[in-house]
């Protein structure tokens, strides 16, 4: 079954993903990185996390970011050029059939990717295949059902219901976080170090940014076209959901948090 990437690669999505750093998205992995390691970043998106990982493995390390579509790769290469990083490579490849020999990398990493796949266990097996014995597979995914916020917002609650329903229609798992350990076991990975961490939006600046990005993504990204195409919503309802995000984002008491699960699997 073909994967359908729910978010798509509209500018509003890439802008949101392009604000990520290794510090806020891969802190659990950073203690395992040192000079000279070879790292594969699967589903690297616009590459900002990838480029931070490159910084953590020094000039003798090698980092390769892969994507199965060109749009984010072009943006990742622009981010690399802006940082003066000429070593990190961004290549087109599918996680389900990686074009690398077995045992090619010390670290094989994926952030917020397994939740979008119809076969996350197969993806983990393929990631483990290209990891060296003694190396690691590192994955981190959100759990959508763990999202909590204040003040209550019926429009945002409807957004979350729509998002989770749509993901499941795509045969993907929006509550991926809670499944990571089980998926790793099913992929034959046994030596696991699981952990969890939150993304929290609690200052006026953070809430304005997070709410603002979803106010746009609700109207402009493939979340909208897919939800409309499947007859799950209407333009009017999407406009109300977007307005709800906007209203929440400027509320003086606004607060939002979501759990992410992380697994380091020792190969
Ligand atoms: C939510 S984004 C995460 C991007 C980046 N890792 C980050 O956290 O900013 C998921 C990415 O996985 C990519 N992706 C989805 N299916 C893929 C596949 N089969 N092989 C490689 N990449 C894939 C998508 O194109 C998308 O850019």
| Ligand 1, residues at Cβ distance < 6 Å | 3, 5, 7, 17, 20, 25, 42-45, 49, 66-69, 72, 94-96, 111-113, 116
Atom number in ligand 1 closest to CA 69: 25
pLDDT at 14: 72
Residue 174 near residue 261, CB atoms below 8 Å: no
Pair of tokens at residue 64:
């390769």
pLDDT at 262: 98
- The answer to whether domain 11-266 has CATH 2.60.40.10 is no
Closest C-alpha residue for ligand 1 atom 23 = 43
pLDDT at 7: 72
pLDDT at 19: 87
For each of the chain's 267 residues, which pLDDT tens digit applies?
A: 677 777 777 777 777 777 899 999 999 999 999 999 999 999 999 999 999 999 999 999 999 999 999 999 999 999 999 999 999 999 999 999 999 999 999 999 999 999 999 999 999 999 999 999 999 999 999 999 999 999 999 999 999 999 999 999 999 999 999 999 999 999 999 999 999 999 999 999 999 999 999 999 999 989 999 999 999 999 999 999 999 999 999 999 999 999 999 999 999
**234 Cα to the center of ligand 1, angstroms:** 27
Pair of tokens at residue 177:
């976080």
pLDDT at 9: 72
Residue 167 near residue 174, CB atoms below 8 Å: yes
Residue 86 near residue 56, CB atoms below 8 Å: no
Of the residues 20, 28, 43, 197, which should be mutated to test ligand 1's pocket, given the most ligand atoms within 8 Å of the CB?
43
Domain boundaries, the chain: 11-266
**Which single residue is written with the structure tokens 């060109």?**
70
Of the residues 113, 116, 176, 217, which should be mutated to test ligand 1's pocket, given the most ligand atoms within 8 Å of the CB?
113
**45 Cα to the center of ligand 1, angstroms:** 5
Query: DSSP letter at 220?
Result: H
pLDDT at 96: 98
pLDDT at 11: 72
Q: 54 CB contacts (<8 Å, ≥6 apart)?
A: 39, 61, 63, 85, 87, 88
**207 Cα to the center of ligand 1, angstroms:** 24
Residue 16 phi, psi dihedral angles, 5° rounding: -70, -50
**202 Cα to the center of ligand 1, angstroms:** 27
pLDDT at 53: 98
């Amino acid at each position: 079954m073909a994967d359908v990437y729910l978010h798509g690669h509209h500018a509003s999505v890439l802008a949101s993903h392009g604000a990520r750093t290794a510090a806020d998205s891969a802190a659990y992995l950073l203690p395992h990185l040192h000079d000279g390691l070879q790292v594969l970043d699967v589903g690297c998106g616009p590459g900002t996390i990838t480029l931070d990982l490159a910084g953590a493995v020094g000039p003798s390390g090698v980092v390769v970011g892969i994507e199965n579509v060109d749009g984010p790769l072009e943006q990742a290469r622009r981010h690399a050029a802006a940082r003066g990083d000429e070593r990190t490579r961004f290549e087109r490849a599918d996680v389900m059939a990686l074009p690398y020999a077995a045992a090619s990398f010390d670290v094989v990493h994926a952030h917020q990717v397994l939740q979008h796949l119809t076969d996350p266990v197969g993806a983990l097996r393929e990631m483990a295949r290209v990891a060296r014995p003694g190396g690691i597979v590192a994955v981190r995914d959100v759990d959508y059902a763990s999202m909590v916020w204040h003040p209550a917002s019926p429009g945002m609650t409807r957004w979350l219901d729509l998002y989770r329903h749509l993901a499941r229609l795509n045969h993907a798992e929006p509550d991926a976080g809670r499944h990571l350990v089980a998926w790793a076991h099913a992929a034959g990975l046994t030596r696991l170090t699981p952990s969890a961490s939150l993304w929290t939006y609690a200052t006026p600046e953070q809430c304005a940014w997070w709410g603002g990005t979803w106010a746009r993504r609700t109207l402009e990204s493939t979340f909208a076209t897919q939800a409309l195409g499947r007859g799950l919503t209407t333009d009017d309802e999407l406009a109300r959901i977007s307005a709800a995000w906007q209203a929440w984002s400027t509320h003086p008491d606004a607060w939002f948090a979501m759990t992410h699960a992380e697994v380091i699997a020792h190969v």
